[in-house]
Amino acid sequence: MARLGFIGLGVMGSRVARRLLDAGHSVSGYNRTASKAQWLADAGMTLLASPRAVAQASDVTFTMVTNTAALRSVTEGPDGILAGLRAGNTYVDMSTVSPAFSKDLATRVEQKGAQMLDAPVSGSVVTLEEGKLTFMVGGDAAVFERVLPILLDVGAKATHVGGNGLAVSMKVATNLSLAVQMLAFSEGVLLAEKSGIKREVAVEVLLNSVIASPMVKYRGPFVLQMPGEAWFDCNMMQKDMTLALELGRELNVPLPTTATTNEFLTAARGLGLDGQDFAVVFDVLARLSGVEVRR
C-alpha cells in the first residue's frame, strides 16, 4: 500500500486520517498544534515536525486546512509541502479554498514532477463517521483513478468533475446551499412557533417533510440542542460564502440568497456567536423575531 501523509488534523481532517489508519494504511501526519493530534499517534499515526517532512515520507500527501491562507502556509516556504515533493508523488488537497489559488498550486506541483488533485468533501462529521462522505475531484483523470481506492477507504463516492480547480469550484457551489437551507429551515420553524406550534413539534414535522434534505436532517435538530463542538462554525461557513460571492461576481452569476444569508452570518459574528456551528443563524433570526432561544 502507498505511504500516505496527512496535514491538517482538525475536526474533519483528523477523522479522515483515522479512517485511513483503520483501513490499514501507513500514515504520517502534521498538525500545527501537535498535542491535538496525539490521539492519532496513539492510534498508529507517525507525527512529523513539518509539512515538508510529511511530503518527503509519503507517496500520496493529503491536506485539509481551514482556508487559502492556511493552505499557502503549509505548501510554501522551506518547510512546506512543495519543498518536500518528489517526482512521481501525488498531492491531494481536500480544503475549500480559492479556485484560482488551487489551480496555480497545481501548476507549481507539476513543476516538481508531481501531480495534484483538488478533492474537497461533501458531508459532516456524522456522514464521515458513517462512511457516507462524498468527494468531488479535479485534476488528471488517470491520477484520479490511481487515488480513487484510497478515497473510497474514507467515503462512499468520488466523482471526477474535470481539471484542476474545478472540484473546488464545485464545492463552493455546493456549500453555499448549506447556510441558505439552514436559514430557510429556521424561518419555517419560527413561523410555526409564533403561530402557536411547539418548536419541537415544528422541527419533527419539517424533518419528516419534503424539505428535509440530508443537511437539514442532521443539522435541523441543532435549533433544539447545539453540539458541544461546532461541526462547521460561522467563520468557516462565511469563508465559503465569501468564496461563492467572489466567484459569482467573476462569472456574472447573481447569488441573491447567498448574499442575504451571508449577512446573517455577519450578524452572528457581531453577536459573538461566531465560534458556534453555523446553525446558530437560527438564534439571530429568533432574536429578530422576538422569540426566546431555549436550549
Annotated catalytic residues are: 171
DSSP secondary structure string for all residues of 123-141: --HHHHHTT--EEEEES-H
Q: What is the mean pLDDT of residues 42-65?
A: 97
Provide the pLDDT confidence category of residue 213 given band limits of 50, 70 and 90: very high
Residue 123 has what pLDDT?
85
Residue 114 has what pLDDT?
98
Query: Does residue 11 have a pLDDT over 90?
Result: no
Burial of 158 (0-12, 13-18, 19+ CB in 10 A): buried
Q: What is the mean pLDDT of residues 250-259?
A: 98
Query: Does residue 1 have a pLDDT over 80?
Result: no
**Interatomic CA distance for residues 257 and 179, integer angstroms:** 10
Residue 229 has what pLDDT?
87
Query: Does residue 92 have a pLDDT over 90?
Result: yes
Query: Does residue 143 have a pLDDT over 80?
Result: yes
Give residues with Cβ within 8 angstroms of 164, minimum separation 6.
102, 103, 106, 107, 116, 117, 118, 138, 139
Helix (H) or strand (E) holding 78: none
Residue 14 has what pLDDT?
95
| Secondary-structure breakdown of the chain: helix, strand, coil percentages, each rounded to the nearest 5 | 55, 15, 35
Under a CB-based contact definition with an 8 Å cutoff, are residues 179 and 281 in contact? Answer: yes
Under a CB-based contact definition with an 8 Å cutoff, are residues 4 and 25 in contact? Answer: yes
Q: What is the mean pLDDT of residues 263-292?
A: 96
- Taking all residues of the chain, what is their mean pLDDT, rounded to a whole number? 96
Residue 153 has what pLDDT?
96
Residue 99 has what pLDDT?
95
Give residues with Cβ within 8 angstroms of 233, minimum separation 6.
274, 275, 276, 277, 278
Give residues with Cβ within 8 angstroms of 149, minimum separation 6.
none
DSSP 275: T
Residue 125 has what pLDDT?
84
Q: What is the mean pLDDT of residues 153-163?
A: 97
Under a CB-based contact definition with an 8 Å cutoff, are residues 262 and 239 in contact? Answer: no
Residue 127 has what pLDDT?
86
